[in-house]
Chains A and B, each alone.
Chain A
Amino acid sequence: MATTDAGLASDAHDKPGHGHSDHGHGDHDHDHPSYLAHHFDTPEQQFDSGKLGMWLFLVTEVLFFSGMFCAYAIFRSWRPEVFEGCSQFLNTKLGAINTGVLLFSSFTMAWGVRCAQKEQHKLLTVMLATTLSCATVFLGVKAIEYSHKWHLGLLPAGLFSYDPANLHPEGGPNYLAWICAPFIAITIGVAIWLVVSFLRGAKFQFECAKPLFVVCLFFFVGVGLGTILESGADKEHSSHDTVAVSDAHGSEPGEGHAAVEGHDSHADAVASTDAEPATDHSTDLALIERLASDSTNTGLKADLEARKMQSELASGGIVYDVVDDTSATVAHAEDNVLRPSRAGVFFSIYYCMTGIHAIHILAGIGVMVWLLVRSVRKDFNHNYFGPVDYVGLYWHIVDMIWIYLFPLMYLIR
């Protein structure tokens, strides 16, 4: 680390117009450029300190998200079939588009850092505006995803009210409108700002408002994109459903998910017990289990239950009395996946993880607007690009978290 001008710099705190680095670097005596905080010796020291701080913050971010990933891992290991079943409700196309959008925004952000380092002020503004636009497209698509699910009643545990027989419950609020409302308000506000600054001839403000207005509009591009993809998916679903309905005794057309998943998970349950090597008579068990999977065969079910418990006891497991009222009913046969207490937990985790990720996107938008204004002001140069770099790091980690979230949530087979 440079210590050449330590001491000299402290009393030479000059902020004249030549704060830019392109004035003679030869004269060591008085120069402490305006972008260099007085407690730093050199721009590099300033940059490295800021960067270390940013990395430590990112470490806390990683640890913060790890709590949610841990919850995910535990619940998935407990009930893999619930995750498999519920994941089908997430639209892979929307998730994939959002992944692409975020990756592109990461690219433009990295390009922006390069622009700041090379003092390409105009291009930096363009790159920041592009990154911001990607962020709002992401949120627009998310708005469609969330509102669609809320409408269906695919809500967190406790609120979960999905009913395949009644897909379009009347009387719910228009969620999409509520999500869009703040964005519409902001867009109108920015538009007014744009017009006023233009009329008053406030050039700087106009230059800031211009890209920000475009950024606001991109939210609605995202909403449009989401709507198109979601409706496409809906059509696909219903065509699947016509097939599914035939063997899914009497679910309303429109969504055969429930029944299909019911079958799937059942098949899985059978398969998994097949694989369990615990007992000698496991093949025997599997056969009985297959017979018992007919819900009317309550006698066999009870027998199976008893045998299982016996082998559990024999292997030293702690066994609770799981024979309750529901175990002998038709309801228990179809089981799983869409029980509110189970599917709800999946959606709790889904909303928690993607929601907090979306909040991070909002925070990123906030700091990037600040960067955009500063870049219009031409604040950054090849010795002072720290803020762009730090926000870039933050933005990349948000992207990185989505890289893990996307396959873990949307692509469960």
Chain B
Amino acid sequence: MSAHENAREGYDFAHPLPLPLLAGTFVVLTMLTILTVAQASFEFGSIDVLIVMVIATVKAILVGAIFMHLAWDKPFNIICFIGSFVFVGLFIMFTLFDSRATVKDDIPILDDGIVTASAEK
């Protein structure tokens, strides 16, 4: 692209991402996947879910920022997208609060066939 073309406003706005950056992101994402699978074979107790979610979130941020160009995108698009996750957080949090509060109102299960092998004994 010659220089005079860039003078035209509203044209030539594309900013192709360098290939090494894309490839590097892919490599990091693959590493993180291996890490997630590897950590599953260790016992971390109750923080298990937390670790998994942190790794997944790091991966999601990488995908969002680089593959989806969010790092170079318009702030409004970023706000929309991040905003959706904020509302998802609120939604799940409050539903969980509610479910915790009412978990004792469990209606017992009656007469339900059980398929464990040892039931035959």
* Chain A interface (Cβ < 8 Å from any Cβ of B): 1-2, 4, 21, 25-26, 41-45, 47-48, 51-52, 55-56, 58-59, 62-63, 66, 69-70, 73-74, 77-78, 92, 96, 99-100, 103-104, 106-107, 109-111, 113-114, 117-118, 162-165, 248-252, 258-259, 262, 312, 317-322, 324-326, 330-331, 334-335, 337-341, 382-383, 385, 389, 392-393, 396-397, 399-400, 403-404, 406-408, 411, 413
The answer for the CA separation of A77 and B96 in the assembled complex, in Å, is 8
**Given A63-B84, A78-B99, A164-B115: A393 touches B68 (CB 8 Å cut-off):** yes
Contact A326 B111 (CB under 8 A): yes
Contact among B69, B80, B109 for A56, CB-based, below 8 A? B80
* Chain B interface (Cβ < 8 Å from any Cβ of A): 1, 4-5, 8-17, 19, 22-23, 25-26, 29-30, 33, 36-37, 40-41, 43-44, 48, 52-53, 55-56, 59-60, 63-64, 66-69, 73-74, 76-77, 80-81, 83-85, 87-88, 91-92, 95-96, 99-100, 103-121
Q: Chain A contact residues: over half helix, strand or loop, or mixed? A: helix
Closest to A62 in B: B84
What are 30 inter-chain pairs, A to B, with CB distance below 8 A? A59-B84, A66-B87, A73-B92, A74-B95, A77-B99, A78-B99, A78-B103, A92-B40, A100-B30, A106-B29, A110-B22, A114-B22, A164-B116, A250-B118, A252-B117, A258-B116, A258-B118, A259-B117, A320-B106, A330-B121, A335-B114, A338-B115, A383-B13, A383-B14, A399-B67, A400-B59, A407-B36, A407-B52, A411-B37, A411-B40
Tell me, rounded to whole Å, the shortest Cβ–Cβ distance linking B41 to chain A.
8
Q: What chain B residues lie within 8 Å of A70 (beta carbons)?
A: 91-92, 95
Contact among B33, B76, B77, B110 for A326, CB-based, below 8 A? B110
Contact A334 B14 (CB under 8 A): no
